[in-house]
Structure 1
Amino acid sequence: MNPKSRRLFILVIAALISAIVFTQSHSHLESLYTSQPSLSSLGWKAQTKFAYATFLGGSTSKDDSQTDPEHLKDPYFISVRLLNYQIKHAEKTRTRLSNAPFLVLVLPSVPRSQLDVLKQEGATIVRVEALDLPDAFDKDFIKSSRFRDVLSKLRLWQLTAYDKILYLDADSYLLENLDGIFTDPILSTPQKTLPPNRTDNKKLGQSVQPPDTYLMAASADTYGDQTEWEQPGHINYLCACFMLITPSQELFNYYMNILTGPEAPQRAVYPEQDLLIYVHREEGQMPWRRISIKWSANDGDMVDELREQGGVKSLHVKGWEGGEGGNVAGEKWKAKWRELVGEMEGFYKGRGSLGKNFRDDGRIPVY
């Protein structure tokens, strides 16, 4: 090989080595920024569609129409606005997933004024019809409580345009980004429906059977000091306040079949939650997976207690004054909620006008 050819050969080899080193270095850098497994490794197709969602029923504001004619002071409505702001716009908590909308399931009783604001601020409105309460439920209690509408949350399973939905109750707010839960290898992998056990044999003749696969991961329902509920052996109850699900018309039909049949939970007072607790009981065909409190806690004190373990990413607490029922925030986390609401208002005010650059994409079906 003459000198000229040798130099050319050396240059080619050097270029190849550089390309290999660059590729390996680039791959290493990508791994540093990719903390979650790939979708394909979890059995999800490349174009998997994710969505965040919540539910908004009729106004719960105690203000009459004269003091709040537009129904814009309702605390649940404000909290839904805050969730939308945090998921769609706030730098610290907004989703980094491409085309992952924030869906707000709304009943016909939701005031038009609230819908207009939510659309302007970038939420995707999903209009749904209410579901009838089964005769087995405690209708007298439910109809006079704030749980009168929540059975309609089951409409989530009809949104089959999406592969996975992370649902948060309206009385929640974020402390960190939640995107990682969609590809968490433990929580997000599809589950196989188990064969019926002996106690289920008598039900084999029912007209609607459960689907072959499903996904039901949820936080645990707690009250009081949540640290007690973290002790080994403590009973856990599925909480319909924070759920990672796969929509399925087949599973929706199964839920409806249970509600209208002899298996409907008797004297239930938490409509959708009592149904889901029954269908996804640990000894049943479709047991649920528990989502750790690092993703969602019902007790603000857990944020500080778990700080060394990575903290808590969201709180299911009522941050406003006068909150009723369980999971009412302490003063520290009420102040945090007010701070975030103020941040949200400042963000929209800074844009010059609400919703100037946002719109409802109109692709969500109406049920």
Structure 2
Amino acid sequence: MSTNPRNVALFIFLFLASALVTLTLRSSRWHSYVPGIPGSNGGGVQAPKVAFATFLGANTNPDKMATDAESEAAGDEDDGYYLATRVLAYQLMHSRSAGTNHSIPFIVVCTADVSKRKLARLKKDGAIIRVVERLEAHWLHPGAARWADMMAKLRMFEMTEWSKILYIDADHLVTAPLDGVFFDEAAQTQATGANGAQVAADEAPLPRTYMLAAHGDFFGYDHPWPPPTDSTYMNAGFFIFAPSRVLFDYYVSILHIEGRFDPGYMEQSLLNYAHRREGNMPWKPIWYGWNANWPTSKDWRGGARSFHSKYWDGDSSHDPLLKSLWMEQRAEMEGFYRGREAGHW
């Protein structure tokens, strides 16, 4: 039986037209799609504005060289936290091996006395620099000199242009994507409780809603994997939160009540008090795989995605495998920027 040429031509035309319409629709959807961020699919649902952030203070290394010029001449090897901030920025914004969504901004929160040269380098690396004022109280006595400015981390709660921020201490190794933490079950807005017994008259009002999620402190290398999920003490080296000026004002009111919390661990102690499990704003536990403190290769083999430790220093207790991975990330970071600045990409 012969085939009508007109029917064949009509079929081809309809096929090509359908393909063109499909391609156009997919293209328009792609331009409004943020990889790894559900809801940004061009269907009228606005993706939340999220960011990664870390803190860099001038007092994080009491043994640093006397002048910035000396530090620069020594390759900044005296300032481990600055080097770690650069490595973290690379891991979150550029590294293919870490694999995190590179469209998510990375903020470096810092005090005004941090070297302007170092901040310029971090900005060149792609970070957003946010200089903030210190938060101080006469009765605070940090447990270690390098924690002297850590209360300034709370300034992030004033950054309400962001709907969610994942805070990560600079001393971290990242080995897998962290984007999904923004949609962790625990990282959703909660209604503030109304237990009057947990309301103190000398503290500022609580917000109507809040969101703060973290994981418990492991308190040592000898911990099981998976770790227990019933901890009542959160580690403030890795937590996700929703900025809120009302919540910030509440923190500041606590800060100025002498003895309200243990000042040894500074902002970590304040957050643990403000978000105590029995209070009206208890912190929520995130999936344990997002992060491990006191990390070992057992955590890495178990599927943890980031590891909290100072791998640049000579501490012999650090896991050698994780330390080598961080060193590789540092070398990869340095090679990446050398290549980019030489015009290779």
Give the TM bin, normalised by the shorter chain: 0.7 to 0.9
Bigger RCO (CA 8 Å, 6+ sep): 1
Percentage of pairs with the same residue = 34
1:321 maps onto 2:313 in alignment? yes
8 Å Cα contact 2:101/2:179 also seen in 1: yes
Q: Select 2:326's aligned residue among 320, 327, 337.
A: 337
Shift in Å, 1:95: 4.1
Q: Render the CA deviation track for 1:63-85: whole Å, top value 9, x for unaligned.
A: 53379713522111000000111
8 Å Cα contact 2:263/2:269 also seen in 1: yes
Residues 104-253 of structure 1 aligned to structure 2 (within 5 Å): 104-133=108-137, 135=139, 137=140, 139=141, 141-142=142-143, 145-184=145-184, 186-195=185-194, 197-200=195-198, 203=200, 205-206=201-202, 208-225=204-221, 227-228=223-224, 235-253=231-249
Residue 225 of structure 1 aligns with an amino acid whose one-letter code is: Y
8 Å Cα contact 1:303/1:312 also seen in 2: yes
Distance in 2 (alpha carbons) for counterparts of 1:346 and 1:194 = 50
- Name the count of aligned residue pairs: 327
Shift in Å, 1:260: 1.5
Please name the residue that 2:289 is paired with. 294
Residues 238-277 of structure 1 aligned to structure 2 (within 5 Å): 238-261=234-257, 264-265=260-261, 267-277=262-272
TM-score by length of 2: 0.81
Distance in 2 (alpha carbons) for counterparts of 1:343 and 1:113 = 22
Q: Select 1:101's aligned residue among 89, 100, 105.
A: 105
Please name the residue that 1:312 is paired with. 304
Shift in Å, 1:340: 1.0
Shift in Å, 1:131: 0.7
Shift in Å, 1:290: 1.3
Q: Structure 2, unaligned stretches of length 5 or more?
A: none
Shift in Å, 1:11: 6.2
Please name the residue that 1:58 is paired with. 58
8 Å Cα contact 2:225/2:298 also seen in 1: no
Q: Structure 1, unaligned stretches of length 5 or more?
A: 358-367
User: For the structure 1 residues 304 and 122, does the alpha-carbon distance in structure 2 shift closer, same or farther, using more than 3 Å as the test?
Assistant: closer
Please name the residue that 2:97 is paired with. 92
TM-score by length of 1: 0.76
Shift in Å, 1:225: 2.9
8 Å Cα contact 1:88/1:102 also seen in 2: yes
